[in-house]
Amino acid sequence: MKIKELNDIAHAMMVKGLLAMDESIGTCNKRFAELGIPQTEEYRRNYRELLVTTPNLGSCLSGAILSDETIHQHTSDGIPFVEILVKAGIIPGIKVDKSAKDMAGFPGEKITEGLDGLRERLKEYYSLGARFAKWRAVIKIGDGIPTRGCIESNTYLLARYAALCQEAGLVPMVEPEVLMDGTHTIERCASVTEEVHRSLFHQLYEQRVNLQGIILKPNMILPGKDCPVQVDDDTIANATINCFLRSVPAAVPGIAFLSGGQDSKKATSRLNAMHSKNRPPLPWELTFSFSRAIEYPAIEIWGGNKDNLEATQKALYHRACCDNAARRGEYNAAMEKE
Ligand code: 5MM
């Protein structure tokens, strides 16, 4: 695959925003269990059908990330979910990591698995219609962590995954998530995130990944959720952009933020603050690739009940519209009442 094609896909992914509907079976079941929804394949399929068939979703999304189970599923009328997305103008992507596991020898830290057999899986996903892939590494802040060993092992794996994706013609969406769990300050989040990005871009360079054909999916720079000092949206937007200007090369076409457990409206208003009209032009496009911040209000309405379908789709569409407005710096609190 030529870099021009990967770069074109990467830019097309950034035009609006992305929905990360790629919960693994375990994570999806956990969310269902919290709401008393049966944890079966049919309920997961019903839920994903509801998401992809939401009317007008393509007006606010340019991509959606599926999981291995979902990319093989169809609507109740037998239409592959991938086909529904493509018809709506939404580029299908696929989560290809096999989740973060306890890291041997590194208590309290995680390592993401999934490289074995990846070349063959990528070929299959491409043939099913996926045009980008996603791999998430998890970095936790705490006493004495993250360690250098954890950071370097995870960024090395992200770089090998990215190289395999580019070989297969899929844009790698590279996700190093520094978790917001904990009591750490916003300054500590910034210094850890910067260290992770420096290691990541060193590894991407060593593994010959072309930065013009990737998307970065990072955390925003936030205080830990139990930090006594919380800050306003502008402080978060400025800290995030300053950290990224120091650590993300200009060759990267786009940055699509994860929400990481932030309140939905806060995730939206913080993205909006990054697009403030007073800011000098940035080297990369900035958008969203949220899961919980888009899906939570909707899934709570659905609750597994088909009678709630219309209200659920309305809630999903509303959040995606607000996030797409924030992606252009056009969001305001009044939109929440519409
Ligand atoms: C939807 O969750 C994704 C997969 O996680 P599991 O391996 O735990 O099932 C996850 O990678 C997600 O795409 C990102 O974390 C972004 O989600 P949030 O909720 O942080 O926006």
CA distance linking residue 92 with residue 81, whole number of Å: 9
- Backbone phi, psi, residue 215, to 5°: -125, 135
pLDDT in tens, 231-268: 999 999 999 999 999 999 999 999 999 999 999 999 99
- Please indicate whether residue 56, judged by its CB atom, sits closer than 6 Å to ligand 1: no
Length of the chain: 338
**What residues are annotated to the active site?**
175, 217
Residue 224, φ and ψ in degrees, nearest 5? -55, 150
Q: Where are the beta strands (DSSP E) in the chain?
A: 17-20, 61-66, 91-95, 100-102, 110-112, 132-139, 171-178, 215-216, 254-257, 285-290
Six-digit token pair at 298?
A: 């909707």
Ligand 1 pocket: which of 179, 292, 295, 319 to mutate (most atoms <8 Å of CB)?
292
CA nearest ligand 1 atom 14, residue = 258
Task: Report the separation in Å between the CA atom of 141 and the middle of ligand 1, taken as the mean of its atom positions.
Answer: 18
CB-based contact 128:71 (threshold 8 Å): yes
pLDDT digits (tens, 9 = 90+) for 164-211: 999 999 999 999 999 999 999 999 999 999 999 999 999 999 999 999
Q: Can you give the pLDDT at residue 338?
A: 79
The predicted-structure confidence for 92-125, as pLDDT tens digits, reads as follows 999 999 999 999 999 999 999 999 999 999 999 9
Can you tell me which atom of ligand 1 is nearest the CA of 99?
7
Q: Is 259 in the pocket of ligand 1 (CB under 6 A)?
A: yes
pLDDT the model gives residue 1: 61
Is the distance from the beta carbon of residue 296 to the nearest atom of ligand 1 less than 6 Å? no
